[in-house]
Amino acid sequence: MSALTRRAFTASAPLALAALAHPGLAQPVATRPLVIAHRGASGERPEHTLAAYQRAIDQGADYVEPDLVMTRDGVLVARHENEISGTTDVADRPDFADRRTEQLIDGVKVEGWFTEDFTLAELKTLKARERLPDLRPGSAAFDGQAAIPTFQEVVDLTKAESRRTGRTIGTYPEMKHPTYFEARGLPMGASLAAALRDNGLDRRDAPVFVQCFEPKPLRAFRARSQAPTVMLVGAGALSDGMLAEVAEFADGLGPELKMVLDANTPGLPATGLIAKAQAAGMKVHPWTVRSENSFLPPALRQGENPAGHGNSAELLRALYRAGVDGVFTDFPELAVTVRQEIFNT
């Protein structure tokens, strides 16, 4: 257990014990939830690098999550967005200065450098950077050390690490802006389905979840592949009818944290969405637990520094007690530690 994990775990242990001791608060559930490493151990290493995924695996994560975008020559690569000035050194490369442009992505004008304007060989000459250096200076210390990985490299890593560790390590790819890429002649859904088939992951029981914020591309993907699918949703109301519709093409729901927990009420009680989604036949994997104060509910912040770590362990406890099937986190070591405390496994 790292020093940061130890501090977060120890500081919040009395709260957990109090919650479990009082019958008015939710009790632990029986199902052991998955720990999904959001972009790898992205609180400690630049996101979407093999180093971040490796660290997450070493910390006990069940799944690693690559966001997928595409290159000009049709290769799936792991980046948070297709605009890469914030996550690579591309802006420092005079040989690529003429690639700076503006694109309309999902109705929003974005200026910068875009993966679809580079071949894979060109992207491989770039180096990854921490996207949030002010909040994560420790991670930023690793800037310039890692290249952009392909999706195939991520899958190869999970397979190799599954053999090495003796435990199944899954892959949880997100299709980013698939409609946009389709319009550019880059069929993301078809490419991902083919990649899963080539890697023996095109089956219902494969250690993979394919996620997306766009329902139409996710529904189309479901027609191409047997791999489990997850519909991502941001904060907002989801009616029972909408949940039933999503359940027609998604095996899981990936809601924003504020949709599943009431952050303004002591004890962070569940909102009811988890139970409704599970009743509709879907797994529930909320996103994203981060330890920095700037990402935490006010009651869980510790100190005034936005980059300081607050009581994210208690947030994890609330999610586990609420009955989630898995949780996305930038700090998988802490999520694994708290899960061990709650579930003794």
- pLDDT per residue, tens digit, the chain (345 aa), is 444 344 443 334 333 333 333 323 344 445 899 999 999 999 999 999 999 999 999 999 999 999 999 999 999 999 999 999 999 999 999 999 999 999 999 999 999 999 999 999 999 999 999 999 999 999 999 999 999 999 999 999 999 999 999 999 999 999 999 999 999 999 999 999 999 999 999 999 999 999 999 999 999 999 999 999 999 999 887 888 999 999 999 999 999 999 999 998 999 999 999 999 999 999 999 999 999 999 999 999 999 999 999 999 999 999 999 999 999 999 999 999 999 999 987
Which residue among 38, 48, 177, 309 is the active-site one?
A: 38
Tally the C-alpha atoms within 13 A of residue 99's C-alpha that lie toward its C-beta: 20
- For 323, the 3-state DSSP assignment is coil
Angle among Cα 338, 1, 151 to the nearest 5 degrees reads 80
Report the predicted TM-score, pTM, of the whole model to 2 decimal places: 0.90
HEC-encoded secondary structure of 255-291: EEHHHHECCCCCCCCECCHHHHHHHCCCEECCECECC
Give pLDDT, residue 27: 40
Give pLDDT, residue 226: 98
Which residue among 48, 80, 177, 285 is the active-site one?
A: 80
Partner residues linked to 235 by β-bridges: none
22 annotated active-site = no
Tally Cβ neighbours within 10 Å of residue 167: 11
80 annotated active-site = yes
Q: At which residue do the structure tokens 């907002």 appear?
A: 236
Q: Please tell me the total number of residues recorded for the chain in this structure.
A: 345
Distance, in Å, from the CA atom of 6 to the CA atom of 11, rounded to the nearest integer, reads 8
Give pLDDT, residue 101: 98
Sequence-ordered list of residues with C-beta below 8 angstroms from that of 330, at least 6 positions apart, any chain: 38, 39, 41, 42, 43, 288, 289, 290, 291
Strand order in the sheet with 229-233: 76-78, 67-70, 174-175, 210-212, 229-233, 252-255, 283-284
